[in-house]
C-alpha cells in the first residue's frame, strides 16, 4: 500500500473518531448479513451484487431513484438536458466532497466515465453503458456525456455508474479502501468475515441516523436466520419464505430479478436446438414456485427480461412442462447419456442452490448425464463473465435496475454481452438497432422481435420473477426498495 493510501486511511480514521466521540453515548450500530463477500470494492469493474450491497452506501451516481423506483437527480443538481442526438448535459451539485477531501467536479465525472468504458479495464458492467462513448467537462460543475448514437435511456444508465475520484483510482487502493461521496465511509474489512462502514459527518445530503454498519458474509440461509433469531443481525437478505412468520419482522417487495439459466449455444451438446428446447420443456416451474417459494415468486413468461422493464414482450408464451416431449427431443438429438455441466453458486440469491439442484434433477430425467458445480462467488463470476469457454448452462438471477430491456438483452442475448453464450449476429444487430431507436413504437417492436427469436431458439431457460424477502430485528425500521439496494441512510432503529 502506498504512503498516500496509508495517509488517507489514517485521516479517515481520525475523521471517524472525531465524528463519533461527541455522540458516542447514543451511537446507533446495526449488523446486516449478506449472502456473499464482495470480490472487490472497486465499484466500476465487476458486476458483483455483494460489492453493490456495500458500495451503494459509499458511492453515488449522477442520478438516483426513490425507494419506489422514480428516477431523480443524485449528484446531478437537476435532470439532464439532451442538447443534441448524442450529447446529454448534466449540471452538478455544488460543495460535494469525496471522503478523502477531494472536490467532486466535472473532471470527476469525465474520469469516472472514461475509466468504466475503457476496453483495457474490461468492466463487467459495460452492458449498463453500452451506448456511452465519452465525456467532456464544460466548466467545473457542468459535464457533457456522449453516446455512440441516440440513446433515450441515458439518464437511467447514469443511475448505475458510480462516481469515483480519478486521482485516487490511479494512485490509491480502490479495490480495498474505497473512497466515494456517499453517506457512509469505509472503515475496515476483515476478509472472510465482515466489513464495517461509518457515517460520513460531512455528507452533502445530511448526516444519517445509523452511526456505523457491519456487514457479515453468511452464505447459508439457515445461518443467517439463526443469527437473526439470536439477535446477532438486524437485517438478513434472502429470508427463506417458510420462515417469514417466525422472525421478529419481515418485509417482501416485488423484485427486479429473474432467475435464468444461460445456455452455451455453441457448446457440443447445447448447440443443438432440440437439446435446448428439451431443457425448457423438462422443468415443472409451477411446482417449483409452490414448493420452493410459497408464493414469493411467479413463473417467468418466456423471457429473462423482467416484466417491469420497457420492452418486455408480453405476447411470449410460457414454456410448458412436457417431460415426455423433452425426452423425445433428447433422443432425436442423439444426446442420451451425453454430459451437461451446470454451473452455479450458493447464497447470493433467494434459493439459488435449490433452484440449481432441482433443475439439474429435472434435466437428468431427460436422459442427459447432468452434473452440477457450485462455485465460490468470485470463481462463479469468472465463469459467468470471463473470457474462457462458456458453460453448458450457468445460473443467474438477472436484474434490471435500468428498467429497460436493453440492460438484459445487451448482457445475455447480445453476442458481445458480458454473460452471453451465443454468437448470433442477427440478434446482436436487432439489439444494437433498438438501443439507438428513438421512436418508442419501433424500439418496442425491435425488442419484441429479438425476444421472440431468443424464445424460439431457447437461448436461455427463464425460471422465475423473484420477490425480495428480508428478515429484520424487532428494533429495525426500514421499508425495502424496489431496486433491492440496501441504503443504510434510509434505515433507523428504535432502542
Q: How far apart, in whole angstroms, are the C-alpha atoms of residue 172 and residue 102? A: 13
pLDDT beneath 50: ranges in the chain = 1-25
Beta strand extents in 94-157 (DSSP E only): 132-139, 142-147
> What's the pLDDT score for residue 387?
84
Q: Which three cell numbers stand for residue 430?
A: 436487432
- Residue closest to 485 by CA, chosen among 41, 40, 67: 67
> What's the pLDDT score for residue 12?
42
Beta carbons within 10 angstroms of residue 336's beta carbon: 13
pLDDT, one tens digit per residue, over 185-214 is 999 999 999 999 999 999 999 989 999 999
Secondary structure of residue 25 in the 3-state scheme: helix
Looking up cell 439532451 gives 82
Looking up cell 433422443 gives 331
Q: How far does Cα 334 stand from its chain's mean position? A: 38
- CA angle at residue 394 from 390 to 395, to 5 degrees? 155
Q: Which domains does the chain have, with CATH numbers?
A: 1-58+167-248+473-495 (3.40.190.10), 60-163 (3.90.76.10), 254-467 (3.10.105.10)
Q: What is the pTM of this model?
A: 0.84
DSSP state at residue 92? B
> What's the pLDDT score for residue 388?
85
List of residues 6+ apart from 429 with CB closer than 8 A: none
225 and 240 in contact (C-beta within 8 Å)? yes
Q: Which three cell numbers stand for residue 32?
A: 446486516
CA of 326: how far to CAs of 5, 300, 361, 368, in Å?
58, 19, 13, 11
Which residues partner with 407 through β-bridges? none
- Residue closest to 235 by CA, chosen among 478, 36, 481: 478
Amino acid at each position: 500500500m502506498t504512503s498516500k493510501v496509508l495517509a488517507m486511511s489514517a485521516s479517515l480514521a481520525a475523521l471517524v473518531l472525531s465524528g463519533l466521540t461527541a455522540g458516542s453515548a447514543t451511537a446507533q450500530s446495526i449488523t446486516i448479513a449478506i449472502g456473499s463477500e464482495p470480490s472487490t470494492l472497486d465499484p466500476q469493474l465487476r458486476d458483483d451484487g455483494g460489492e453493490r450491497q456495500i458500495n451503494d452506501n459509499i458511492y453515488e451516481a449522477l442520478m438516483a431513484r426513490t425507494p419506489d423506483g422514480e428516477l431523480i437527480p443524485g449528484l446531478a443538481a437537476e435532470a439532464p438536458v439532451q442538447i443534441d442526438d448524442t450529447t446529454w448535459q448534466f449540471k452538478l451539485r455544488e460543495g460535494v466532497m469525496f471522503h478523502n477531501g477531494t472536490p467532486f467536479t466535472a473532471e470527476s465525472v469525465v474520469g469516472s466515465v472514461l475509466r468504466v468504458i475503457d476496453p483495457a479495464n474490461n468492466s463487467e458492467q459495460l452492458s449498463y453503458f453500452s451506448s456511452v462513448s465519452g465525456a467532456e467537462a464544460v466548466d467545473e460543475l457542468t459535464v457533457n456525456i456522449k453516446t455512440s448514437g441516440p440513446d433515450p435511456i441515458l439518464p437511467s444508465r447514469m443511475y448505475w455508474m458510480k462516481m469515483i475520484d480519478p486521482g485516487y483510482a490511479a494512485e490509491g487502493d480502490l479495490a480495498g479502501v474505497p473512497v466515494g461521496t456517499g453517506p457512509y465511509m469505509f472503515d475496515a474489512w476483515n476478509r472472510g468475515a465482515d466489513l464495517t462502514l461509518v457515517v460520513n459527518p460531512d455528507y452533502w445530503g445530511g448526516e444519517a441516523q445509523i452511526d456505523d454498519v457491519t456487514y457479515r458474509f453468511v452464505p447459508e440461509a439457515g445461518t443467517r436466520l439463526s443469527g437473526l433469531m439470536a439477535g446477532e443481525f438486524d437485517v438478513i437478505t434472502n429470508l427463506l419464505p417458510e420462515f417469514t412468520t417466525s422472525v421478529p419482522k419481515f418485509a417482501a417487495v416485488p423484485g427486479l430479478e429473474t432467475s435464468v439459466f444461460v445456455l452455451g449455444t455453441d457448446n457440443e451438446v447445447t448447440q443443438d436446438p432440440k437439446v435446448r428446447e428439451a431443457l425448457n420443456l423438462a422443468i415443472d416451474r409451477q411446482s417449483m414456485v409452490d414448493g420452493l417459494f410459497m408464493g414469493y415468486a411467479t413463473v417467468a413468461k418466456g423471457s429473462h427480461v423482467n416484466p417491469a422493464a420497457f420492452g418486455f414482450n408480453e405476447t411470449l408464451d410460457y414454456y410448458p412442462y412436457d417431460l415426455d416431449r423433452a425426452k423425445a427431443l433428447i433422443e432425436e438429438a442423439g444426446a442420451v447419456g451425453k454430459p451437461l455441466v451446470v454451473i452455479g453458486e450458493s447464497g447470493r440469491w433467494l434459493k439459488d442452490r435449490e433452484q440449481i439442484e432441482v433443475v439439474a434433477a429435472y434435466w437428468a430425467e431427460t436422459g442427459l448425464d447432468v452434473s452440477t458445480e457450485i462455485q465460490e462467488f468470485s470463481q462463479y463470476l469468472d465463469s459467468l463473465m470471463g473470457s474462457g469457454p462458456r458453460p453448458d448452462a450457468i445460473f443467474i438471477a438477472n436484474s434490471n435496475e435500468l428498467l429497460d430491456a436493453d440492460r438484459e438483452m445487451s448482457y445475455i442475448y447480445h453476442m458481445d454481452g458480458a454473460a452471453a453464450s451465443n454468437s448470433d449476429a442477427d440478434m446482436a444487430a436487432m439489439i444494437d438497432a433498438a438501443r439507438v431507436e428513438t421512436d418508442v413504437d419501433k424500439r418496442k417492436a425491435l425488442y419484441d422481435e429479438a425476444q421472440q427469436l431468443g424464445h424460439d431458439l431457447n437461448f436461455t431457460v427463464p425460471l422465475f420473477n423473484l420477490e425480495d424477502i428480508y428478515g429484520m430485528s424487532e428494533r429495525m425500521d426500514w421499508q425495502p426498495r424496489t431496486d433491492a439496494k440496501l441504503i443504510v441512510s434510509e434505515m433507523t432503529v428504535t432502542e
